[in-house]
Amino acid sequence: MGVSMENQKRRLVRRRIFAVAAGGAALGVGVAATLAAWTDTEWVFGGDGAGGAGVGTSTFAIEQNTDPGFDPTAWTDEPDNPGGQMVFTAAGLLGTELTPGDSVYAAVALRTKNASIAGDVQLQAADPAAGIATDDPGDLLFDALDVRVATSATAFTCDATAFTGPVTVIADGSLANTGATLTQSLAAASGSTQYYCFEVTLPDPIPLAGGTTPEDYMGRTIAPAWEFVATS
């Protein structure tokens, strides 16, 4: 039997409907794939290995000990003039009892603080101590005195014998103008100590300023202050 024209039309319509439906299904799959894409993220941070901040700056600081016996509890931080007090003495002689030819001595030790990185220090020439009463009109005595400074990484006795021992003399000249010619290294975190011995001398004869006599230098007092400049 032949297929009627009516049946052929119905089959053609069904094929078209199926084709449109199939096309719509394909379009639907494409849209679903675009909207359902997976996402994920990862973060990291600079830490210290224990959950704290891991980026920052180091610290650099030194401290001093002017105790004659370098008492381990006597370390202090003195960043401003006049700083820690060194007491100048010699055998049977106070620093305020100089006569021509006399020398007096005082010691100080330096190191870095516990949390500090390493660095170097250099001694500067003396300045008048801030806020300390003195009696030296015209700076006659200040300008007349001489200074020597010896240093070592090993503790030593600070007296006249210090400058003949295994030390390095870093300053030798007039008090008013003489600083250190060398720097000294300090290990990090108080890992080393540098010891210094200061010698102050009233020369004999006194180098008289113009128009003065030796008697003009009697009864005067000064308070020299030294700065150690430290760099990391």
Which helix (H) or strand (E) segment holds residue 26: the answer is: helix 5-35
Distance, C-alpha 89 to centroid of its chain = 31
pLDDT tens for 99-128 read: 999 999 999 999 999 999 999 999 999 999
The C-alpha atoms of residue 83 and residue 58 are separated, in whole angstroms, by: 25
pTM for the model stands at 0.82
Distance, C-alpha 126 to centroid of its chain = 22
Residue 122 dihedral angles phi and psi, to the nearest 5°: -140, 130
Is it the case that residue 55 has pLDDT exceeding 90? yes
Query: Within 13 Å, how many C-alpha atoms sit on residue 33's CB side?
Result: 6
Please tell me what DSSP assigns to residue 178: -
Residue 165: band (very low, low, confident or very high) from pLDDT cuts 50, 70, 90: confident
Looking at residue 211, its pLDDT comes to 92
Least confident span in 31-40, 134-143, 216-225: 31-40
Is it the case that residue 2 has pLDDT exceeding 60? no
Amino acid type, 191? G
Amino acid type, 204? D
The C-alpha atoms of residue 223 and residue 81 are separated, in whole angstroms, by: 11
The C-alpha atoms of residue 173 and residue 188 are separated, in whole angstroms, by: 32
